[in-house]
Amino acid sequence: MLTERQMLILQVIIDEFIETAHPIGSRAISKKGTIPYSAATIRNDMADLEEKGFLEKTHSSSGRIPSEKGYRYYVDHIAASISGQSDEYIIKDLIQDGFYEFEQIVQLSAEVLSELTNYTSIILGPEMMETKLKQIQMITLTPHTAVVILVTNTGHVEHRTFTIPSEINPSDLEKMVNIINHHLAGSPVISLPELFNSEIISMMKKYMDDFDQTYQYLKTAFLAEQPVKLYIGGVSNILMQPEFNDVEKIRTFLTMMEKEDEIATLLKQTDDGINVTIGQENEVEAIKDFSLITSTYRLDEGQHGTIALLGPTRMEYKRVISLLKVLSNEMTEALYMWYKNNG
Amino acid sequence: MLTERQMLILQVIIDEFIETAHPIGSRAISKKGTIPYSAATIRNDMADLEEKGFLEKTHSSSGRIPSEKGYRYYVDHIAASISGQSDEYIIKDLIQDGFYEFEQIVQLSAEVLSELTNYTSIILGPEMMETKLKQIQMITLTPHTAVVILVTNTGHVEHRTFTIPSEINPSDLEKMVNIINHHLAGSPVISLPELFNSEIISMMKKYMDDFDQTYQYLKTAFLAEQPVKLYIGGVSNILMQPEFNDVEKIRTFLTMMEKEDEIATLLKQTDDGINVTIGQENEVEAIKDFSLITSTYRLDEGQHGTIALLGPTRMEYKRVISLLKVLSNEMTEALYMWYKNNG
DNA sequence: GTTAGCACTCTTGGATAGCGAGTGCTAATT
DNA sequence: AATTAGCACTCGCTATCCAAGAGTGCTAAC
């Protein structure tokens, strides 16, 4: 479909545009020397490429810029093969350094990723899918307040403070917590609500006087939806990109970034491995002007999180893709080591 | 120092400028009717006000805008007396609704505050100053990993996951945790490091074989500096303000907002009650173009947090001040009720 | 198939002029 | 003595125009 030369021209244009964000003219390409043909020849090919939808003009006598279809072709046919190297060591060093806190490493990764690329990085914390309940603790603060702490096998901790109404007997609550620990420890967190209903209720009826209220209470206390944690890095970095020359664009972008739950659902839907969605390919209206590159990392079987970079469609695809590959591999490996060595 | 009329003029100009963000001319004031004098008279007074430093011109033939000194005068002499009403109920309703989670109410307050004002709100979580240790829990995840959970009497939970090196005997760690709970429960969190050194070390030497390592470990595990939590609301809201017409200003603002620790230290330094710092009065370079209004709320004796609104110097001082007054009172009261009723 | 040449298009930046809002001053009015 | 009307002057803002520059598309020549 595309001649050898046309492909080359497309590549040069995209590379150049990614760097400068300015439309590229035939003369400029010719002078660069990468393609040993005259401006006129290149001009003809460019006209063809435009006709086929890989290039666009901003106005009738401007240079060409890549269309989304052009980027797509570039990502699929051209950028795929190349791997970056220089960033690799930064990432590896980052992960190597001490690793006591999962959250720290993730937050740090998000920041470094953004710093390295000047795009916005978003890391979705591991989903609790296959996380298992390790233990529940209830600690009474005052006769009528308590904090319930839920610990998973991955070391994740959730807690919730609540008031104990006077109708409820604190010792009932304690009994209940014991029952839960005894019967549900080791169960996947995600199935807790269900198990709670099926297994625990009957148990409790035996042991407790005032069942209903206690039940309702504990239920809301720790079955409330547990938000997936989102680590966002360098929201201000992306504003360095020349496409944000317009105040209005910044506003819409930032407003979008504040809707963390939407972003989370978006990232959850990604497939395994590297994933590139360009402009209009994105289903979410708000990022139809952006490209989103995602990569998954795994903690344990079935348990995975997502690393993403959000930038303008004019993105350094080659570099970003290899960067995400390295990072997600390193994260997977680091986490694997952590579990296997210690487990 | 200022005549009655000059004060009135200053007030009208500031009120008007706060609303429109455009320089105000003498004719406009005269036509408004609030001041029954001709434009020329007002013009003379305005010249005086400028000479005294309360007003400025953007250029030689523009209308006047308030100077920072002008705002200061306004805040001290004019805005002080007035109290807003309409927002009051929103705040009260907000706080009234269920109150299980301290964090939730704070985050929500931050968002509402920003929504109501279109400034950026920052709430500093309560300092741990006088918070007391309730209990420490250690839960082993695998033979070589554990999570240490620290619970305070206010229901605040800190946790830290760490690896147990093979040199350390897990049962030693457990002993240690018991010792800590036994001896330090009820002690102020802030003095834990010190108490740890003075009281616990001797205890531990008696009971444990491999003291040194265990000690070092637990120490880093929960004496690491506990960051004060910062709740920021509506970073994108403030961009609605016309002073953010410039992309560069947005960039610097956002870059500043990402430095959470700096903001935290800034807010920690505030005195009790309402505090208004206007423009250059701010010590931190980055917000010398902004005004910061802070208010404190208290949890328990000695324990307090800060609510702040950050906006352009052209701020709705009257409204914001009364808003913060109401909110901090409501928060103080709600927290007070929570403790006393349940404690 | 490739290239040189040329007319045409469109953006960008600088220069200029006119308009409007506002001031400062002076002289007249109360 | 305080207030006001009148008027010249200043400055920013906008529109318009112009020239330069970059790039295209097409045609004709190589």
CA-nearest of A187, A124, A191, A185 to A331 is A124
Q: Tell which wins on pLDDT, A170 or B25.
A: B25
Indicate the SS3 state at residue B263: helix
Mean per-residue pLDDT over chain B, rounded = 85
Question: Does residue A49 register a pLDDT over 80?
Answer: yes
A/B interface, count of CB pairs below 8 Å: 123
DSSP state of B306: E
Q: Does B102 have pLDDT greater than 80? A: no
CA distance B20 to B309: 20
Residue B210 falls in which region: left (phi positive, over 0), alpha (psi -120 to 50) or beta: beta
Radius of gyration of chain B (CA): 26
Give the class (CATH, top level) of A133-223.
alpha beta
Quick: pLDDT tens for A149-176.
888 887 778 887 777 777 777 787 788 8
Contact call for A151 and B157, based on CB within 8 A: no
| pLDDT score recorded for residue B217 | 66
The domain made up of B84-127+228-342 is a member of CATH 3.30.450.40 = yes
The alpha carbon dihedral of A197, A203, A206, A210 has a sign of negative
Across A61-70, B92-101, B248-257, B323-332, the highest mean pLDDT is recorded for A61-70
Chain segment A212-262, per-residue pLDDT in tens: 666 666 666 656 556 678 899 989 999 999 999 888 889 999 999 999 889
Summarize pLDDT for B310-319 with one digit per residue, the tens: 999 999 999 9
CA-CA distances (angstroms) from residue B183 to A214, B136, B224? 33, 11, 20
Q: Which residues pair with B157 in a beta bridge?
A: B151
| pLDDT at residue B343 in the model | 46
Q: Please say if the pLDDT value at position A326 is more than 70.
A: yes
Mean pLDDT across the stretch A122-128? 81
Give the Cα separation of A152 and A156 in Å (integer): 5
pLDDT tens for each residue of B140-186? 887 777 888 888 887 778 887 777 777 777 787 788 888 888 888 88
C-alpha to C-alpha distances, B292 to B71, B122, B281, B316, nearest whole angstrom: 12, 10, 10, 12
Alpha-carbon dihedral angle through residues B218, B220, B225, B227, given to the nearest 10 degrees: -80
Listed residue (A319, A267, A265) closest to A118, CA to CA:
A319
Using an 8 Å Cβ cutoff, are A229 and A104 in contact? no
**Taking 50 as the threshold, does the pLDDT of residue A60 lie above it?**
yes
Whether residue B13 is predicted with pLDDT greater than 90 in this model: the reply is: yes
Contacts of residue B300 in chain A, CB cutoff 8 Å? none
Mean pLDDT of B269-296: 92
More confident residue, A172 or A282: A282
Which pLDDT belongs to residue B220?
65
pLDDT at A343: 46
**Residue B3 in this model has a pLDDT that exceeds 80:** yes
When pLDDT is cut at 50, 70 and 90, the band that residue A342 belongs to is low
For B201, what's the count of Cα atoms within 13 Å in the CB-facing half-sphere? Answer: 11
Residues B144-149: contacts with CB within 8 Å, 24+ apart? B144/A341, B144/A342, B144/A343, B145/A155, B145/A338, B145/A342, B145/A343, B146/B170, B146/B173, B147/A151, B147/A155, B147/A157, B148/B177, B148/B218, B148/B221, B148/B222, B149/A137, B149/A149, B149/A151, B149/A157
Inform me whether the pLDDT recorded for B63 exceeds 90.
yes
Which residues in A lie closer than 8 A to residue B141 (C-beta atoms)? 134, 151, 153-155
Range in A272-281, B30-39, B74-83, B203-212 the model is least confident about: B203-212
| B146 vs A202, residue with greater confidence | B146
DSSP conformation class of A71: H
Overall fold of domain B4-80 = Arc Repressor Mutant, subunit A (1.10.10)
Mean pLDDT within B248-253: 90
Per-residue pLDDT for A341 more than 60? no
The DSSP secondary-structure symbol of B125 reads: P
Q: How long is the CA B224 to C1' C7 vector, in angstroms?
A: 74
Q: Where in chain A is the domain with CATH 3.30.390?
A: 133-223
Query: Has residue B206 got a pLDDT over 90?
Result: no
Test B250 with A246 for CB contact under 8 angstroms: no
- Give ranges for CATH 1.10.10.10 in chain A: 4-80
Using an 8 Å Cβ cutoff, are B161 and A151 in contact? no
Show the CA angle centred on residue B258, arms to residues B256 and B260, nearest 5°. Answer: 95
Which amino acid would we find at residue B50?
Answer: E
Contact A247 B255 (CB under 8 A): no
Contact B239 A250 (CB under 8 A): yes
> How many angstroms separate the CA of residue B107 from the nearest CA in chain A?
13
Amino acid at B329: N
What pLDDT, on a 0 to 100 scale, did the predictor assign at position A334?
77
Say yes or no to pLDDT of A41 above 60: yes
What are the DSSP calls for A152-220, one per residue? ETTS-EEEEEEE--TTS-HHHHHHHHHHHHHHHTTSBGGGHHHHIIIIIHHHHHHH-SSHHHHHHHHHH
Among the partner-chain residues A144, A162, A244, the one whose CB lies closest to the CB of B247 is: A244
Q: Is the dihedral of CA B128, B130, B131, B135 positive or negative?
A: positive
> Residues of A with CB below 8 A from B342's CB?
141-145, 163-164
Residue with tokens 């074989």: B209
Place of tokens 């660069």: A32
- Classify residue A182 as exposed, middle or buried by CB count within 10 Å of its CB (0-12, 13-18, 19+): exposed
Residue B257 DSSP class: H
What are B247-254's contacts with CB under 8 Å, separation 24+? Answer: B247/A239, B247/A244, B247/A245, B247/A246, B247/A247, B247/A250, B249/B289, B250/A239, B250/A247, B250/A250, B251/A236, B251/A239, B251/A240, B252/B286, B254/A235, B254/A236, B254/A239, B254/A254
**Higher local confidence (pLDDT), A335 or B66:** B66
> Which residues are A123's β-sheet partners?
A231, A307
Indicate if the pLDDT at residue B98 is higher than 60: no
- State residue B225's pLDDT score: 58
In chain A, list all ranges with CATH 3.30.450.40.
Answer: 84-127+228-342
State the number of CA atoms in the 13 A half-sphere of B47 facing the CB: 7
Q: Which of A145, A154, A341 sits opposite B155 (nearest CB)?
A: A145
